Amino acid sequence: GIVLELLKEAMVSKLGDTKGFLINGYPRELKEAEEFDSKIGEPKLVFCLDCSAETMSSRLLMRNQSSQHSDNAETIKEGIESYYQASKPVIAYYEKKTQLCKVN
């Protein structure tokens, strides 16, 4: 709820200055997508960056080498599995509304 309210405030404050908004990483769960639609409105377009678990894992492992993240391969694998479980219903939700654009 807090993230949604912050998004709404930021969007309302810029309404006259923009043609639209790009929101990165939200919604992450179906409940958030439904709340966004009911409290702010349905988005005209949703992008989904579609890549394999192997690609995500290798990129996260590379990120660890160049930063202070200390995730190991098993932690990364668990995080990716959790991401897929949470995002599948969100992707299906927006596919039904024909608002989803998958980018490979």
**Radius of gyration (Cα) for the chain, nearest Å?**
16
Rounded percentage of the chain residues whose pLDDT exceeds 70:
94
* DSSP code, position 99: -
| Average pLDDT, integer, range 55-66 | 81
pLDDT of residue 90: 95
Q: Rounded mean pLDDT of the chain?
A: 87
Query: Does 2-102 carry CATH code 3.40.430.10?
Result: no
Q: For the chain, what are the domain ranges? A: 2-102
Q: Are 37 and 13 within 8 A, CB to CB?
A: no
Separation between Cα atoms, residue 16 and residue 100, nearest integer Å: 26
pLDDT digits (tens, 9 = 90+) for 5-33: 999 999 999 888 888 889 988 899 999 99
pTM over 0.85: no
Helix (H) or strand (E) holding 48, with range, is strand 46-49
- Of the two residues 71 and 58, the one the predictor is more confident about is 58
Confidence of residue 67 (pLDDT cuts 50, 70, 90): low
